[in-house]
Amino acid sequence: MSILQLKIPARARKCKVCQKLFVDSDKVFSTVEGQEEDPQRSDYCEDCFDEKAIDENIWGHWYIVIKKEKVQLTPDQKAMELFKEEERGSNVEYLLFIAQYLRRKKQLIQRPEIKKEERLFFEDPKTSEVYGIPKAHIDPEKLSEFKALFFEQIEKSE
């Protein structure tokens, strides 16, 4: 009887022989052997892998160069992260400024339906969390300060 799905286990975190942890840009060699129902995978660092040790029991061998995935956030995603950071802080005017930006970018939905204690409410449609931010007046001088700071924060690349 053949099985439909044949799954080779994921790569180990370290070399089978020398136990060295694999890190970014390491060349890792892998082999598979054993029964179809229970494939045995082995992973080796470049120094420990020995091609001559490959015998007919081994289905095959291959290698990969480990690359750490770099997640590049868009400016809007960064603005949302900034909002969630600032949300725990005390700079209400700046928080409100970021919220207005996110509302314009349709990342937050304003909820005028909720009326409470001089606050503006914004919903994060992804998490459905609603944030009530105290209403604040931002004077023009501060506004240009915020703009400079904000765009520097969301546009800088990692």
Q: Which residues bind Zn ion (CB under 5 A)?
A: 15, 17-18, 45, 48
Sequence-distant (≥ 6) Cβ neighbours of residue 61 within 8 angstroms:
29, 30, 31, 49, 51, 54
Neighbours of 82 (CB within 10 A): 19
Find the shortest distance in angstroms from Cβ 53 to Zn ion.
13
Q: Closer CB to Zn ion, residue 15 or residue 154?
A: 15
Can you read off the two tokens belonging to residue 60? Answer: 């095959």
> Shortest distance, CB of residue 129 to Zn ion, whole angstroms?
47
Beta strands in 53-98 (DSSP E): 58-65
| Six-digit token string for 6 | 């044949």
CB of 47 to Zn ion, least distance (A): 5
Among residues 44 and 150, whose Cβ is nearest to Zn ion? 44
Q: How many CB atoms lie within 10 A of CB 71?
A: 7
- Alpha-helical segments (H) within 2-139: 75-86, 92-104
Q: How far is the CB of 40 from Zn ion (least distance, A)?
A: 18
Task: Considering the complex, state which of residue 17 and residue 32 has its C-beta at the smaller distance from Zn ion.
Answer: 17
Q: Which is nearer to Zn ion, 64 or 148 (CB)?
A: 64
